[in-house]
Structure 1
């Protein structure tokens, strides 16, 4: 089974219901990049990568497409049954750009699963559950409104909330955390996510002011070293998110003991292959983590859910997908949807989802 063609597509994803606000900026519109990898047996696998604009992280849309342009021609004719070999081939074609390689890696898993009649979860070691937790992300806002939305999401069954902070005075952030805690009455787990938006001093002040509230501080500060300096100075567990650019950073954080858990992104780490290795590193140290991505549609959502289903449930912090913020689905027959704060693991071979024919129009690039 050899790769004979790779098609690249673009999918516009305007943010549904207004602006998604984080400390690093606001998002009104994103554009996802999808790849279709076709083998000589006629079977195709799909992958996706979607950045949160050009500021949230170094990854960006045009960068992904330029990187795929460098990599894809070198994959034509390659044996598709060895994902490890294909990963080495991608690295030989281009250094770095994990977020672009991730789209291809996801497609390889989908192709292999479809060819052998196996789900991606099975390829990753086997699902431990038939549905995974997700969580709702409360965008940066004002205390009373954020608390009102939080209470509504508890009623809708979400077991975990992520409260975005930053961009306001620290007093506003502290009040928001207290209001959310009061509104949810301890019925959900709460992560307070600054998206790198706090100084060390502000992170310590927030933790001190919310000492009695059982929260997790997610990526409170900008750099790895700033987060490391919080050890022993805050009253809450600290998770790394944006700093986890590759497997080595995760390994370093674990070995230095500066992270109590992780908010992990499939495409940021380079795809399902590398995320699986990180999953196993976290398992060795009993560290909780999520299985998320920055944005995207049914393809990346399915990848997050399949990986999430293989994580020990007691350590799993949820699979965040963008479904609440986008209109429609790529696969109208088998959409990835959130029901009562959980997502069913897709059934069928591969990812279990396949874009409707013609939904993306003509490819923006083709190789092979």
Structure 2
């Protein structure tokens, strides 16, 4: 099974219900890059990368497509058998840009799963469950409205809520956390997500203002150095999210005992294969983590859920997918959906997603025959 053609699509994903607000940016629509790989024996594999704007991480949509343009021609004719060998080939063609390589890696795994007639979760070590818990992200908003939505989502089956804070008004941020706690209490685990928006002093202050509330503090400050100074000075466990830009960074955070857990994203760590390595590393140290990504449609959602199903449940912090924030699905027959706060793991070979023919329109770039 050799790569015959690679097609690159640009897909706009408008945010349903208005602006998605967080500390680093406000987002109204997302520019997703979809990769289609066709092999000489007629199989088609799909991948996706969807940066949440150009400032959330050092990733952006134009960069993803430019990186694929560098890599794709050199993959034409390559055998799809060894994922490690394909990763080595991509690194030889372009240094870095893991968020773009992740879309190609996703498509490779989709193809290999179809060829072997197994789901991608099997290729990643094997599923431990047939449904995984999702978590809901409460965007920055008025405390009363945030609390109302929190109660609604817990009633709908969500076991974990992520409360985003602005980092601009500590009293309002604290009010948000308190209101959510009053609304849901121990019925749901809470993560307070600073999205790098707090100074060390502000993080300590907010921690004191919310000292009696049980939550994990997700990426309160911008750098790992700042996060390291919080250890022992705050009451709440510290999780790293945006800082986990590669495997070495995660290894450093673990070895220095900076993080009590992680928010892992597929495209940030480089691909599903690298993320599976971090899953196993966290298992050794019994560190909890999530399996999600910045944004994306059904392709990205399927990838996150396949990996999530391979994580030991007691260490799993949930999967975040964008399904509740976007309209429609790429595959109407096999959509990735959240029901009662959980997501069914696709059982079909590969990713289990087959986008509707012509759904993405004309490819913005085509490589190969």
TM-score calculated relative to the size of structure 2? 0.99
State the Cα deviation string for residues 88-116 of structure 1 (Å, max 9, x = none).
00000111100000000000000000111
Q: Displacement of 1:167 after TM fit?
A: 4.3
Task: Quote the offset at 1:347 in angstroms.
Answer: 1.5
C-alpha deviation, 1:185, in angstroms: 2.5
1:6 aligns with 2:14: no
Counterpart Cα distance in 1 of 2:166 and 2:92? 40
SS of 1:137 mapped into structure 2: strand
Instruction: Give the secondary structure class of the aligned counterpart of 1:291.
Output: strand
Q: How far apart, CA to CA, are the structure 2 residues paired with 1:218 and 1:101?
A: 26
Matches within 5 A, 1:191-210: 191-210=191-210
Residue correspondence of structure 1 range 166-177 to structure 2 within 5 A: 166-177=166-177
CA RMSD of superposed structures (Å): 0.7
Deviation at 1:173, TM superposition (A): 0.6
**Distance in 2, Cα, partners of 1:247 & 1:354:** 31
How far apart in 2 are the matches of 1:167 and 1:181? Answer: 19
> Helix, strand or coil: the match of 2:294?
coil
Q: Hey, what does 1:312 align to over in structure 2?
A: 312
Q: What residue is the counterpart of 1:144 in the other structure?
A: 144
Question: How far apart are the structure 1 equivalents of 2:87 and 2:185?
Answer: 47
Equivalent residues in 2 for 1:66-215, closer than 5 Å: 66-215=66-215
Distance 2:168 2:186 in 1: 25
Provide the rounded CA distance (Å) in 1 between the counterparts of 2:107 and 2:60: 19
Return the alpha-carbon distance in structure 2 between the equivalents of residues 302 and 271 of structure 1.
13
Ranges in structure 1 where 5+ consecutive residues have no aligned partner: none
CA distance in 1, matches of 2:318, 2:42: 35
What does residue 246 of structure 2 align with?
246
Counterpart CA distance in 1 for 2:269 and 2:277 is 10
> SS state of the match for residue 289, structure 2?
coil
User: SS of 1:33's equivalent?
Assistant: strand
**3-state SS, counterpart of residue 186 of structure 1:** helix
Taking the aligned partners of 1:168 and 1:269, their CA distance within structure 2 comes to 29
Instruction: Check if 1:51 corresponds to 2:47.
Output: no
Counterpart in the other structure of 1:285: 285
Off by >3 Å, runs of 4+ in structure 1 = none
Between the two proteins, the alignment pairs up a number of residues equal to: 368
Alignment of 1:206-245 (within 5 A): 206-245=206-245
Deviation at 1:143, TM superposition (A): 1.0
> For the residues of structure 2 that align with 1:308 and 1:251, how far apart are their CA atoms?
20
Q: Show the counterpart of 2:271.
A: 271
C-alpha separation between the residues in 2 aligned to 1:255 and 1:333?
45
Q: Secondary structure, in 3 states, of the residue corresponding to 2:102?
A: helix
Q: Quick one: distance in 1 between partners of 2:118 and 2:362?
A: 29
The CA deviation string for residues 288-317 of structure 1, in whole angstroms up to 9 with x for no partner, is 000000000000000000000000000000
Give structure 2 stretches of 5+ with no counterpart: none
Residues of 1 paired with 2:343 and 2:168: CA distance?
33
